[in-house]
Structure 1
Amino acid sequence: MTTQTRETFGRVGIWNGALNASQADDDGKKAIAAAAAEIEALGFGALWIGASPSPDDAATVLEATRTLTVATGILSIWNHTAEEVAARIASLDPAARDRFVLGLGVSHGALAPQYAKPYSAMVEYLDALDAADPSVGPGRRVLAALGPKMLRLASDRALGAHPYLVTAAHTAEAREALGPDALLAPELTVVLDTDLDRARATARAMLAMYLQLPNYTGNLLRLGFTEGDFAGGGSERLLDALFALGDAGRVKARAAEYFAAGADHVALQVVTAERSAMTLPLAEYRALADAFADEL
């Protein structure tokens, strides 16, 4: 497998947990394959599979596409051993394997009972990936890094970082920590709704779970938010910093803030008023492709 580069990710990608095929039946897998093929045809550079995927879960998307970079966003190091992951990557179709990127994260104590010493655990996991046969080296992986230590590790031991639920201000700090050469590919959550009150209600419904996870709230506190910003599902100040709310043109303007702060690639996650991070919002993807036509 060749080393990935910034160019292989493109400027704009799509992030979606519903593209995880692990729980899908045959019809569901067909829908995932069709959606992945359309996302590729629309011109997006990369597709990030959410909902704690494994390399196996990426196979459906890889088989349905021809040029798209496909990444796990993010595989929890507590769910699979490094040796298992390396073996599963080796089992992917050789024609598609070069387009696969392993996104890794330490997850959260509330979600992983064995969670302990996350930085040391990640270092050990990367060591094991390097030692596996076949190995999964730095040029084939990214880290879900938020804090300075993990960001430096992402620069030293991976292609770079894929931070989730972050602001443009965090992106600027992440670029400084990573240095100029590492990949920086933040996720940006999108609500395509010009009714801002309704858009904020949708954003709060999505954000509720994450405000219970100290890794995220701790990062937001470091960025200058307060506990008061977490009350009621999130203050307007917090929502406006974390989300792109409005029409597709507004989403493009928000993404531009992340690019100006040092992002190489922005992964857009669309959520809808139905609260579904677990749907395939193709109409919204088409609208975003039109808005970002000069970036794709």
Structure 2
Amino acid sequence: MTTSLKETVGRYGVWSFELRSEDPARRGELDEAAAELEELGFGAVWLGGNSTAAHAAPLIGATRRLTVGTSIQSVWQQDAATTAAGFAEVEAAHPGRFVLGLGVSHGPLVKDYSRPYAAMTGYLDELDTAGVPADRRVLAALGPRMLGLARDRAAGAIPYLVTPEHTARAREILGEGPLLAPEFKVVLEDDPARARDTARAFLSRYLEFPNYTDNFLRLGFTEADIADGGSNHLVDAVFAWGDENRIRDRITAFHEAGADHVALQVVNGGTGDTLPRKEWRRLASLLG
């Protein structure tokens, strides 16, 4: 019997910029970390930034059952034929272990961003023709139209920088079948001021992108919440911080709102070059 994507990714995963490093000198360190995440009980690793199948393949090879996904590969990053070839190569070597996470990125980062929805549908058409199965791709969907596309043309959605309220709305659009795997940021810090300072410094870059700010406004946040690096109300909604019970409850709220899987990103104020392995162990412990 074929295992569904929901079963393979499990309830918890790790979202990481750090694990997509292209530095060959770090290959052993990255592979060792992926193997430890698997042993800690995480079902999936989601590679941040403009990641591709080539970034995922070594981590899949270093583990026995871990699912590795791109979160995301931008449709503007490489053509669909190249993407399909990369998918086929990893699939041949490690059947069922790679998930193609696609997104349309953001206007300020793309030369011509006039029709992102059409760009995504065209890209999916090409993947269909090339034989990339819909049940092995997921979309970084925030708004209703893209969530509908994730329902109809993919295995589900991997929304980034969202709240449980967004998860509940997304589940209504997706229905019960598709995977819903939101990303959620965690600051392992008890002190409110330090936790919010760390979170706000990380959040500020995302508040430059209309895809995120428009989504916050749809969720009921105000322009004042988005200004000046983000209000405490916004920061507290999109980051978990505090003691272990508080953090666990915040993660559980996504499952209660309809998430199948939560991709947890550790935010610790670092540069992104150092793997937060101590923090990943703490997360695994508090999740039980």
**TM-score, normalization: structure 1?**
0.94
Contact 2:91 2:98 in 1 (8 A): no
Q: Which residue of 2 aligns with 1:286?
A: 281
User: 2:69, 2:16 → 1: CA distance?
Assistant: 11
Q: Which residue of 2 aligns with 1:112?
A: 110
Q: Which residue of 1 aligns with 2:254?
A: 258
AA aligned opposite 1:112: V
Name structure 2 gaps, 5 residues minimum.
none
Map 1:183-194; keep pairs closer than 5 Å: 183-194=179-190
CA-based RMSD of the aligned residues comes to 1.3
Map 1:52-201; keep pairs closer than 5 Å: 52-92=50-90, 94-132=92-130, 135-201=131-197
AA aligned opposite 2:269: A
Q: Which residue of 1 aligns with 2:32?
A: 34
Structure 2 residue 14 is matched with structure 1 residue 19: no
For residue 208 of structure 1, report the CA deviation from its aligned partner: 0.7
Identity across the alignment (%): 54
Contact 1:16 1:278 in 2 (8 A): no
Number of residues paired by the alignment? 287
User: 1:281, 1:247 → 2: CA distance?
Assistant: 18
AA aligned opposite 2:35: A
Q: Which residue of 2 aligns with 1:226?
A: 222
After superposition, the C-alpha distances for 1:79-114 in whole angstroms (9 at most, x for unaligned) are: 011110010112226342421000000000111113
**TM-score, normalization: structure 2?**
0.96
Of 92-101 and 227-236, more deviation after overlay is shown by 92-101
User: 2:3, 2:98 → 1: CA distance?
Assistant: 10
After superposition, the C-alpha distances for 1:262-284 in whole angstroms (9 at most, x for unaligned) are: 0000000001033x445311111
For residue 4 of structure 1, report the CA deviation from its aligned partner: 4.2
Name structure 1 gaps, 5 residues minimum.
none
